[in-house]
Structure 1
Amino acid sequence: VPVAAPDGLGLRLRGYQLQGVAWMQYLREHGLAGILADDMGLGKTAQVLAHLLIEQQAARLDLPALVVVPTSLLFNWQQEAQRIAPALRVVVLHGDDRARHVATIAAGQADLVLTTYPLLWRDLDALLSLRFHLLVLDEAQTVKNAGARSAAAARRLHARHRLCMTGTPLENHLGELWSQFHFLMPGFLGDARSFARLWRKPIEQQGQTVRARLLAQRVRPFILRRRKEDVLQELPARIEIVERLQLQGRQRELYESVRVAADKQVRRALERRGLGSVQVSVMDALLKLRQVCCDPYLLKQGRMPQGLERAKIEWLRDTLPALVAEGRRILVFSQFTSMLRLIDSELQGLQLPCLMLTGDTEPAARGAVIERFQAQQVPLLLVSLKVGGVGLNLTAADTVVLVDPWWNPAVEEQAIARAHRLGQTRQVFVYKLVIEGSIEERLLELQARKSALAEGMLGRDDTTTIKFGEEELRALLAPLGAGIAEKVLA
């Protein structure tokens, strides 16, 4: 049933956003739960705030809504609530003195309560003393591990209605989708063991497409997902450029020596313990190769001889001044905070002003960094994927540089979506820096293959617990420039 935008809303909702609000109203009316899984940058926060304003004006918000967010998005939610739904009384549970706010909430003096995933389980006893009208998990892929403390704490909270928000409802495997539904509607997909036996193994390991379609049909009524290209025709298409760089001289020699050592390390571990027991050894070996590709100075904390070739730093040194001179506003992303510091040092030498946003940035300072960049006071923002991969609005940028690829295409999509999102009026250029013939180029090939399953279930693919088969390992550890085996890409 169509709904009208509530009075006092601080923006004009687009048609698809009104449909999203109507969908949430339908779920609430029928006592159902669901996942608002619109593409990143389509205004999920605005839709949820409009839904809450309708609930308030209909006198149904007699208990507050609790929204759990990644720490990096706390400021963004405060700002958006003030701008979009100023009539909502917002209480933020954060900081050392947050316990004093519990009494305010219990006294009925809050409409919207914001907290973070790390604080959810720490404050569980206090939160269990409260009742909520709606419980929302923003960036709900955060609870993909059903056994994690945050996920367990979220399931114990008392709320009439539950909602997940995420642009990537499925990241690494189907168990993550089960975890979200276990929070939303316990029992809907069975218990974890039976789900693994009936769905995960047949679909992921045996490739049973009929089972995959049946599971998709079961979950899709509770997942609302719209893509940018379908609903934002006026959003300029982004232009992606893969910059394939070559290793030269001593950097090339260093890569090969690290590769040989990594190959030996992994082979010894495989012989002693088998593939299932060597994930730590594998990840350590691959990490070192990725670091050499990014910059040799990442190894041994920068204790490298002067004059060593640095392919990516040299590209950045040559390219960023020219882009800034053109008037471009640039986001530079890396998985490695230490890489961002190296880039920052180079930019200082070039007298290019820049800002930095990493996990080390104080929460109180994050808002100021974002505001300065959005106000176009500084042309460059260096961002770690850990804090900049989700939720942030950085539409002042028209250029994104991805310094290092990762296994997961969703991580890169999240980074790009900081700029290529609702509110962007300019063409966005995306530069992906990849060392030709190296582990990085093979990661791009793995990305395409590993995203297929997730795409079928309305999600994508992810990062931290990825596991490799022996053939994939051999391909990743192949000599510089060697082709990846055809069967690995099948």
Structure 2
Amino acid sequence: MSATSPPTSCRRSWRGVQPSTVTPTATCCPASRLHRLHGEDRRAALEAWRRDGGVAVTSFGTLRWAVHQELPVEQVGCVVVDEAHYIKNPAAKRSRRTADILDRVPRVLLMTGTPLANRIDEFCALVQQARPDLLEDLVESPTAHDFRQAVAPVYLRRNQEDVLTELPELVEVDEWVPMSAVDQGVYREAVEAGNFMAMRQAACTQGASSGKLRRLCEIVAEAEANGRRVIVYSHFREVLAQVAALLPGPVFGPLTGSVPPTERQRIIDDFTAAPGGAALVAQIVAAGVGLNIQAASVVVICEPQLTPTTEWQAIARAHRMGQLRSVQVHRLLSDEGVDERLTEILARKRAVFDDFARVSELAHSAPEAFDITETDLAREVVAAERERLLG
């Protein structure tokens, strides 16, 4: 809450503003006026915030409770939403609760590294939260240039390479691994059943008989010889279970969405204290955001993800401030089938992100979007593979 904020004529949405660009003043809230509106003491913290003002910090998970407690929103000078891509779906309850607060405050700061993952509509939803008027005159399928011009007043992007020049090298390798005979049999069964998710994990579910898992063991052995720790990502819990059972060295996790935050941090701390060759196995959607895992300097992604931003965020858990070693990224890809087709689609999605979101006209004073839902993607890939294998 703030009664001293300067007046402003518009609400702005920025990404990656560095501390050096902000000059602290005597009106900034000291640490003693920070109030944590989640956890066991949240009710007392809410009362203290109402009484004393200052900065309140809460989570998306606690937002429903906070709204029901009659937050003094009309007295709030600014709302900062971190990981703002979590409110890109305007139909979701979390987005509606957040929007109800944002509509009643004079200043909004939305921070996210991934304003666009699949569709331009996601980016538009975030812009609507900051300045609804900016998109009123935009045509239905804008070019990248027109879109960037439209959102320029609220969109400031600083890419990692712009601001973290001291980061160590990032080496990314696509590892095209032949399917074993067992993998091929499992994969064909998944194609016959039209099971897209089974197709994606077919090369990782047969233990030591799987081509990808054999290559994974080699990567971990190389890491151990070089005194490096490894983080292994997969979307699938079954794959993580296979990995944890197969790797010979110390294995931590699986770190999944069902693991409580305090337990997550304990797992990461134990992994950090482990020797080279240790592996942290983690579900990419659960551990790919909000965690610092600089102890790992080797990253293995077991299968292509459906959006490139999922992989970027997961890699950034290790390749970030505090990392002292070069980071090696290994993407395990089957040399035929679903992985090959997904990498082609992901390349198109990366191009869309680069055209529409990577460049900020505000920071640096074409083709149309490729729009495909995950359901459409699955249908397209399954149909293509059924035609290739079954005629």
One fold, TM greater than 0.5?
A: yes
Q: How do 1:52-451 residues align onto structure 2 when only pairs under 5 Å count?
A: 54=24, 57-59=25-27, 87=31, 89-95=33-39, 98-108=42-52, 111-130=54-73, 131-157=75-101, 158-190=104-136, 198-199=138-139, 201-203=140-142, 209=143, 212-262=144-194, 285-296=195-206, 309-347=209-247, 350-375=248-273, 379-451=278-350
Which one-letter code corresponds to 1:369 in the other structure? I
- Report percent identity of matched pairs: 30
Return the alpha-carbon distance in structure 1 between the equivalents of residues 151 and 187 of structure 2.
45
| Preserved contact between residue 117 and residue 308 of structure 2 (Cα < 8 Å) | no
Compared with structure 1, are the counterparts of its residues 404 and 164 closer, same or farther at alpha carbon in structure 2 (3 Å cutoff)? same
Matched with 1:33 is 11
Contact 2:201 2:303 (C-alpha < 8 Å) held by counterparts: no
List per-residue Cα deviations over 1:426-485 (Å, max 9, x = no partner): 211100001111201211111011222232221599999434377655335553699xxx
Is the Cα–Cα contact under 8 Å of residues 244 and 251 in structure 2 kept in the other structure? Answer: no
Report the more deviating stretch, 442-451 or 248-257: 248-257
Distance across 2 between alignment mates of 1:250 and 1:144: 41
Per-residue CA distance 1:383-403 (angstroms, 9 max, x = gap): 211222123222222111111
Question: Match of 2:261, as an amino acid?
Answer: P
SS at match of 2:330: strand
1:163-215 Cα distance to aligned partner (Å, 9 max, x none):
0111111121121112112222233323xxxx8xx53x424xxxxx3xx3222
Range with greater deviation from structure 2 (218-227 or 376-385):
376-385
Q: Which residue of 1 aligns with 2:388?
A: 479
Structure 2: distance between partners of 1:474 and 1:286: 10
CA shift, 1:246, in A, is 1.5
- 1:466 correspondence with 2:364: no
What is the number of residues matched between the two proteins? 373
SS at match of 1:433: strand
User: C-alpha separation between the residues in 1 aligned to 2:326 and 2:240?
Assistant: 25
Whole-angstrom CA distance in 1 between matches of 2:229 and 2:182: 33
TM-score, normalised to structure 2, is 0.84
3-state SS of paired residue (1:430): strand
Question: What are the ranges of 5 or more consecutive residues in structure 2 without an aligned counterpart?
Answer: 360-368
Q: Say whether the 8 Å CA contact 2:251–2:281 is kept in structure 1.
A: no
User: What residue identity is the alignment partner of 2:217?
Assistant: R
SS of 1:243's equivalent in the other structure is: strand
Higher RCO (CA-CA < 8 Å; seq separation 6+)? 2
Contact 1:438 1:480 in 2 (8 A): no
CA shift for structure 1 position 31? 4.1
What's the CA shift string for 1:221-249, capped at 9, x where partnerless?
A: 32111223333333233111111111222
Relative distance call for 1:398 and 1:471 in structure 2 (3 A) is: closer
| Aligned equivalents of 1:238, 1:372: Cα separation in 2 | 25
Which amino acid in the other structure matches residue 220 of structure 2?
L
Greater mean alpha carbon deviation, residues 93-102 or residues 465-474: 465-474
Q: Deviations over 1:409-432 (max 9, x none)?
A: 111111111111233232111000
User: TM (normalized to structure 1)?
Assistant: 0.68
1:302 maps to: none
SS at match of 1:221: coil
RMSD of the TM alignment (CA)?
A: 3.2
For residues 125 and 189 of structure 1, do their structure 2 counterparts lie closer, same or farther at Cα, with a shift above 3 Å needed?
farther
